[in-house]
Structure 1
Amino acid sequence: MARGKEQPARRGGGGRAIGRVIPWAVIGLWVAAVAVLAPFAAGLDKVKSDKVVDYLPSGAESTTVAALEEKLPGGGVNDFVVVYYRAAGITADDRTTAERHLAVLDRKYPGPPTDSAPPSIPAGENGPHTVGADGDKTTGSSSRVQDSRDGKALLFAHSVGTASGEPSAYLPALRKLLEDRPAGLEAKVTGPGAIEGDIDAVFDGIDAKLMITTVIVVTVLLILIYRSPVLWLLPLLAVGCAALISMAAVHLLAKNFGVVVNEQSAAVLVILVFGVGTDYALLIVARYREVLQTEADTNRAMSVALRSAGPAIIASAGTVAAGLLCLLAADLNSTSGLGPVGAVGVACALIAMLTLFPALLLVLGRWVFWPKVPKVLPAGVTGAVAGQARWDRLGAWIDRRKGLAAFGSVVFLGAVALGLLGGPGSLRSQDQFVKTPESVSGFTLVTRHFPHIGGQPITVIAPTAKKDAVLEAAEAVKGVSQVVPGRSGAEYAEITVFPKDAPDSPAERRTLKALRAAVDKVEPAAAVGGPSAQNLDTATTSARDEKIVIPLVLVVITLILGALLRAVAAPVVLILTVVVSFAAAIGASTLVFEHIFGFKGIDPGLPLLGFLFLVALGVDYNIFLMHRAREESLLHGTRRGILGSLSATGGVITSAGVVLAATFAVLATLPLVPMAELGFLVAFGVLLDTLLVRSILVPAVGLRLGSRLWWPSALGRHTDPEDADGQASVPIGRERALRN
């Protein structure tokens, strides 16, 4: 920046007075906005929707089944299984207790109306079986209570109508009822309804916990970075206001435009706003402090700082927001809903950090940096940036060994990416808890003592007129253990199919696919759903979404980079580096998930969301580096421009990367495996990108390419004498022409 030639004319007293008033006016507007919108932010929980269909593919069969179940007599149902276990063997008193519990549950938590049959469970081969008038299989009894083959367990199935509310609302009371039982008898509630209830319980009050934890993490990091008793508070205050405004905006979007907001997207919203907002604050403070060394007037210094850092920050926010909006092309409802929610959060963070945060800095003046208050230096003297010497030494090493630095970085990233070749497979619904809840431990008891039951029930919804034909077709499918007719309505009928194999196993998925094919031949309007079908559809749709959204994200981000850097070569280089970085991050994370954390699978949506966040956020840091590099290259040539940018931005970008990684790491502390996996992957990937890709690989490749990095712009058609080719330099006098 040619600071000596770009000093604006000094303003009179009136201009200075206006300069003092504007920051206070901006702060006043923000105070008013927060006061007006705070109630909407507080009401975000009221518009959240965590129905099953909110997490399913919009066009999948299992989604159709979940929607049609609501139209059957009694509406939707939540299915539970209550299992009892005694190591010494079930007693007569134990069976009496189970039957008493069943009667109480039927009375207090009723299922659908009487024209529907309660869920039936295959009884196995441990005695004479009969089929009752209501469709139940029993072991020589009219009770729905079933005995295990080893005589150590009992179980019964129970459906609760959706009129009783969500499972999380009554599951604790339901479990409380089972405490009245003989000593030594274990009793656990499991089944799809219990798993859903335990998941909802994990999210209970999570917004407040997540906000508090994030604030603590960001506060500690800002204090360590700034080492100032006051300065750390300003970014925190500004980003807190941005988070509140974003929550209010998302509330209004959900209420007025039907944007789906669930617990996952709400959690990511908080993390994203705090992460990117703090990053923008760090960049603004770094540029502001730098300009204060050459400018006495704080208003003019802030103006110069915002003009310098603003384009990169806006491009950064635009990259992340545009990438998030690409999620609208996804078919998975939970993924597509995250797009507008996250984009709103990034936009609110951008607005707050370009308006409220600078205003707060201005009203407090230079002393906000105490004890290291920046002073105006004599003309021609450049102030040192904290830690700049270390980055100068790193730049000098990369410059001497740019080929080795680039090649070594790529080899290391490629080796780490080999972790993708292994992995524990797709995450099952019962394996998505970090700590084992009762629904999962109960499921383990069922599979251990009732192996003949096989997988979870599969629900088939068919036109009532075709019910019998569909039932017969289902019975003929290999891998099906039992088919039971369920509720019938005027239009649709319900059929329950029990597979022989374990839930989410390859064998059960083959049965699901064969069942769908058989049913479709008889009645194309019929649909096959249920928990296992939902997991299969989610995995299939996630793979489809990756093929559509990932290329779209790459194209959008490349276009934004091209517009910012006015080049083609540089955007392509940056995109390639973050893609390689993503592959390494997910490869390493896969190994950590399986061998260190002990997770039993990878969430199907993780690759897409991880790619989006790591590519968009990884490009952010490259934007900050390369935007400054282009600015310096216009003055000093590409080599000195890249080295100067690394020296000037190395410390602040590394600090920003650590803050962003730490905020996403907060997600890794949540007790749900999908959220923990996303938090760890993004945190690890951001650190990898910050410490290796942006610090070594990108500068090394840039130095190797020289001015060709800026092709086909005017800057790219000239080389400086310090480039590898040793051709003619860019005349400093052509700076203004090249800027245009």
Structure 2
Amino acid sequence: MELFDGGTKRRLPHLVGPRLSRLVVLIAVVFSGLALAAPIAAEESGNGVANVPAGAESRQAAQVRDELGGSEVVPAIVVIDRNGQALTQDDRATVQSLVKNLERYAVAGSQTFQQVSDDGEAAVVGVPLSSSASNDELVTIVEAMRADLAGLPDGLRAQVTGGPAFTVDLAGVFDGADTRLLAFTAIVVALLLLLTYRSPWLWLVPLAVVGVADQVAVTVVAAGTKVLPFTTDGASVGITSVLVFGAGTNYALLLIARYREELRRHENRYDAMKVAVDRAAPAILASSGTVVLALLCLGFADSPSSRNIGLGGALGIVTAVLYALLVLPAAMTVPGRRLFWPFVPHVRTAGTGELDVRAGIWWRVAGAVTRRPVLVGLAGAALLAVLIIPLAGLRTGLSQTEQFRATPESVTGQETLGEHFPAGSSEPTVVVVGSDVADRAVQVLGDVEGVRSARPSADGSGRTAIDVVLDSAPASDASFRIIGEIRSTIREIDAGALVGGSDAEALDADEVAHRDRLLIIPLVLAVVLGVLLLLLRSLVAAVVLVLTVVATYAAAMGAAWVAFEHWFGFPALDLTVPLLAFLFLVALGVDYNIFLTTRAKEEAERVRSGGETADVAADIATDVARGPISVALAVTGGVITSAGVLLAAVFAVLGVLPLIVLTQIGVIVGFGVLLDTLLVRSVLVPALVTLLGRWFWWPGRLSRAADRENDRENDGAHGAGSGGLRG
């Protein structure tokens, strides 16, 4: 059976019908309930070394240090000071009593230790905790320590910092994060859907379907960690949820817009939905396939956190598109047309024809763009170029104390520690060398500029671990320089030496992020280009669209950097942000160009086959340079703009979490999506399509059809001229 829509046959199985729709919804409810109740816990990873692969030198050094013993403990550092004033004798007595009181938190077999700064203005108490303690155990211990330290004499301040405290404060960022993120996302999506459809209940259907898909995706990702090489952490879970909500709602908007359009052509709502699925599914599958393949490219990354986001996000997008194409059509057809009340779409009666796209604002935008494509194209390109300029001053790499938008106690404590003690004293650099050269290594390391002290800390199996305290602030450029000098110097003594510790891990993470960008960015571009070639059958179109989304990414990064530097006060971008922002903006940004150009291709093919193009006047409809892209922009402009605004808002919701990396991703992707939606897709791409004309579709069938039509017109003109001469 054929469904009439330009003579297009049904191409996809349809799960809609008078009884089938209800059955599909019932099955979806049961399946979702079972998935949500499934006792599957995801494999989780901590955030401490999330950006450092197991093979990195710093991780190898940590492993050897563990084998040597003595690393079963990690100190929580209590910093006591009077905010710049010298400690009194009573204060020093208080420190002595604190040492005894805090001993109950120390791991068995270890003792607390204390030290007063050279300037006499601060003291530290080290409390050895178990390095194998779980996050929950560390939270209990650190919170109890902070509670005990709350009753100090007036003016005396105690702050808990060090590795365990940072772990606890970072975990605190994600306490209740899932609930907050889901609540804010749902509220944002609900409001935007309500504004889009202006119906008191229509928005509930896509919101319910996408919301359930988001929760099912949590179980799917958890199951995925059991069989695939990735784990989850707070950041990857939050980003996956945003991806599912944003992409799932986008697919829903596109499908519902096409369904409403078909309801004006079909009396039977099930037939209308079948045609809507046939027409919308290719673009949705191409879009989601692009995002999934791009995310899977992160599976080749060395950074564990990037792999977590890539594989988890891919599973989330697959879940979202399955619910959008299988569950949503059935859910939309169960209530019938009254779901759209008060703006119920009715079948056009005889004489009214198709929906006249020329009545909307997007037709006027299309006309303004296609009448002056050179001027409009140059203006759009100039704006993007201006936004790209600030990239010249971009900085990447945040230290441990710069990860938070708010300032937790572990950060302020580290700052106080750095004012009175060597900055690296809380987390020394670890150098592992052969025991036969250990004495010489200690002497050489002590002579390295920027090293405060070096002393052996563990020995065994022919190897010795040396703790090296640096003068410079953790994860600073100065620390990276010193680590590099330590590595080059120590290898002159022992070629197999290993350098680890938090500064070395940060430096390794920086190098890994650079390697990942060099590998993943070309892979993502190749994936996007390949999908566009398969979808549009046009090399020119694919290259042009890829270039536009890359320009959008660069412009969004430049504009966001200005905001981060001057308004937010961020010192740099997190190492993972440039790659993740590129992936999301290119993969998601190309979605809107896919939606636009596939509709333009559909309209152009309809013109070439002799059909009508949305009731547009023949002089415009048959102009391959202007008609199809004008109709495509007029028809898709509203829904794509709504989808873009919604996706940008959903990514902006990441800002509810006080972690800089998530705020940066949210701002960059959110602004980039708006830029792509309102400028690139609405103005620049239609201008380029108009300028290129039939060459935009080269070497596809549409460009060849235009050649044949021009040849026929030329032959006719020559024939008429010859006839006149003969006469």
Residue 327 of structure 1: aligned partner? 298
CA deviation string 1:402-461 (max 9, x = no partner)? 001111111110111111112455222101111111111112212223367679521223
Is the Cα contact below 8 Å between 1:455 and 1:500 reproduced in 2?
Answer: no
CA deviation string 1:484-508 (max 9, x = no partner)? 2223344754321011222233222
CA–CA separation in structure 1 for the residues paired with 2:487 and 2:432: 11
* Alpha-carbon distance, 1:156 to partner: 3.3
3-state secondary structure, aligned to 1:229: coil
Residue 335 of structure 2: aligned partner? 364
Is the Cα contact below 8 Å between 2:178 and 2:238 reproduced in 1?
Answer: yes
Q: Aligned runs of 1:170-569 on 2, under 5 Å?
A: 170-379=141-350, 381-384=352-355, 389-450=360-421, 456-462=427-433, 467-490=438-461, 493-569=464-540
Alpha-carbon distance change, 383 to 102 in structure 1, aligned in 2, over 3 angstroms: farther
Residue 12 of structure 1: aligned partner? none
* Alpha-carbon distance, 1:360 to partner: 0.5
Alpha-carbon distance change, 54 to 450 in structure 1, aligned in 2, over 3 angstroms: closer
Alignment of 1:23 onto 2:10: no
Is the Cα contact below 8 Å between 2:105 and 2:127 reproduced in 1?
Answer: no
- Residues 373-382 or 67-76, more deviating: 67-76
Is the Cα contact below 8 Å between 2:399 and 2:476 reproduced in 1?
Answer: no
- Residues 481-490 or 646-655, more deviating: 481-490
CA deviation string 1:96-127 (max 9, x = no partner)? 2222222333332227x56xx98xxxxxxxxx
Normalising by structure 1, we get a TM-score of: 0.88
Letter of the 1:699 partner, please give it: P
Residue 89 of structure 2: aligned partner? 92
From 644, 648, 661, the equivalent of 1:661 is 648
Letter of the 1:26 partner, please give it: V
CA deviation string 1:53-108 (max 9, x = no partner)? 33323432122233444434365443332211114421122112222222333332
3-state secondary structure, aligned to 2:31: helix
3-state secondary structure, aligned to 2:45: coil
Normalising by structure 2, we get a TM-score of: 0.90
CA deviation string 1:246-292 (max 9, x = no partner)? 11111111134442111111111110000000000000011000011
From 131, 140, 149, the equivalent of 1:162 is 131
Residue 102 of structure 1: aligned partner? 99
* Alpha-carbon distance, 1:641 to partner: 0.6
Letter of the 2:699 partner, please give it: P
CA–CA separation in structure 2 for the residues paired with 1:560 and 1:553: 11
Alpha-carbon distance change, 705 to 726 in structure 1, aligned in 2, over 3 angstroms: farther
Is the Cα contact below 8 Å between 2:77 and 2:162 reproduced in 1?
Answer: yes
Residue 52 of structure 2: aligned partner? 56
From 36, 49, 68, the equivalent of 2:34 is 36
Residue 6 of structure 1: aligned partner? 7
* Alpha-carbon distance, 1:673 to partner: 0.6
CA deviation string 1:2-41 (max 9, x = no partner)? 95663989xxxxxx9992121122112211211211134x
CA–CA separation in structure 2 for the residues paired with 1:105 and 1:509: 34
Alpha-carbon distance change, 453 to 720 in structure 1, aligned in 2, over 3 angstroms: closer
CA–CA separation in structure 2 for the residues paired with 1:488 and 1:500: 25
CA–CA separation in structure 2 for the residues paired with 1:657 and 1:425: 28
* Alpha-carbon distance, 1:211 to partner: 0.8
CA–CA separation in structure 1 for the residues paired with 2:274 and 2:238: 35
Alpha-carbon distance change, 544 to 643 in structure 1, aligned in 2, over 3 angstroms: same
CA–CA separation in structure 1 for the residues paired with 2:143 and 2:357: 55
Residue 147 of structure 1: aligned partner? 117
Is the Cα contact below 8 Å between 2:190 and 2:203 reproduced in 1?
Answer: yes
CA–CA separation in structure 2 for the residues paired with 1:382 and 1:417: 46
3-state secondary structure, aligned to 2:124: strand
Alpha-carbon distance change, 454 to 102 in structure 1, aligned in 2, over 3 angstroms: closer
3-state secondary structure, aligned to 1:596: helix
CA–CA separation in structure 2 for the residues paired with 1:705 and 1:304: 31
Residue 669 of structure 2: aligned partner? 682
* Alpha-carbon distance, 1:230 to partner: 1.4
CA–CA separation in structure 2 for the residues paired with 1:546 and 1:700: 31
Residue 589 of structure 1: aligned partner? 560
Alpha-carbon distance change, 452 to 545 in structure 1, aligned in 2, over 3 angstroms: closer
Is the Cα contact below 8 Å between 1:639 and 1:722 reproduced in 2?
Answer: no
- Residues 575-584 or 450-459, more deviating: 450-459
* Alpha-carbon distance, 1:327 to partner: 0.5
CA–CA separation in structure 1 for the residues paired with 2:712 and 2:99: 86
Q: Count residues with an aligned counterpart.
A: 692
Residue 617 of structure 2: aligned partner? none
* Alpha-carbon distance, 1:595 to partner: 0.2
Alpha-carbon distance change, 556 to 217 in structure 1, aligned in 2, over 3 angstroms: same
* Alpha-carbon distance, 1:481 to partner: 1.1
CA–CA separation in structure 2 for the residues paired with 1:76 and 1:270: 36
Alpha-carbon distance change, 525 to 146 in structure 1, aligned in 2, over 3 angstroms: same
3-state secondary structure, aligned to 1:477: coil
Is the Cα contact below 8 Å between 1:188 and 1:442 reproduced in 2?
Answer: yes
Letter of the 2:510 partner, please give it: A
* Alpha-carbon distance, 1:482 to partner: 0.2
CA–CA separation in structure 2 for the residues paired with 1:62 and 1:475: 20
Is the Cα contact below 8 Å between 2:432 and 2:498 reproduced in 1?
Answer: yes
Letter of the 2:634 partner, please give it: S
Is the Cα contact below 8 Å between 2:32 and 2:212 reproduced in 1?
Answer: yes
Is the Cα contact below 8 Å between 1:26 and 1:356 reproduced in 2?
Answer: yes
CA deviation string 1:309-343 (max 9, x = no partner)? 10000000000000000011111110122111000
3-state secondary structure, aligned to 2:114: coil
CA–CA separation in structure 2 for the residues paired with 1:17 and 1:554: 35
- Residues 671-680 or 164-173, more deviating: 164-173
Alpha-carbon distance change, 640 to 727 in structure 1, aligned in 2, over 3 angstroms: farther
* Alpha-carbon distance, 1:147 to partner: 2.5
CA–CA separation in structure 1 for the residues paired with 2:690 and 2:74: 61
CA–CA separation in structure 1 for the residues paired with 2:15 and 2:463: 74
- Residues 428-437 or 656-665, more deviating: 428-437
Q: Which runs of 5+ in 2 are unaligned?
A: 608-623, 716-727
Is the Cα contact below 8 Å between 1:721 and 1:728 reproduced in 2?
Answer: no
CA–CA separation in structure 2 for the residues paired with 1:223 and 1:242: 20
Is the Cα contact below 8 Å between 1:720 and 1:727 reproduced in 2?
Answer: no
Alpha-carbon distance change, 728 to 419 in structure 1, aligned in 2, over 3 angstroms: farther
Residue 608 of structure 1: aligned partner? 579
Alpha-carbon distance change, 183 to 401 in structure 1, aligned in 2, over 3 angstroms: same
Alpha-carbon distance change, 624 to 469 in structure 1, aligned in 2, over 3 angstroms: same
Calculate percent identity across the aligned residue pairs: 39
Alpha-carbon distance change, 372 to 185 in structure 1, aligned in 2, over 3 angstroms: same
Alpha-carbon distance change, 655 to 569 in structure 1, aligned in 2, over 3 angstroms: same
From 712, 734, 738, the equivalent of 2:699 is 712
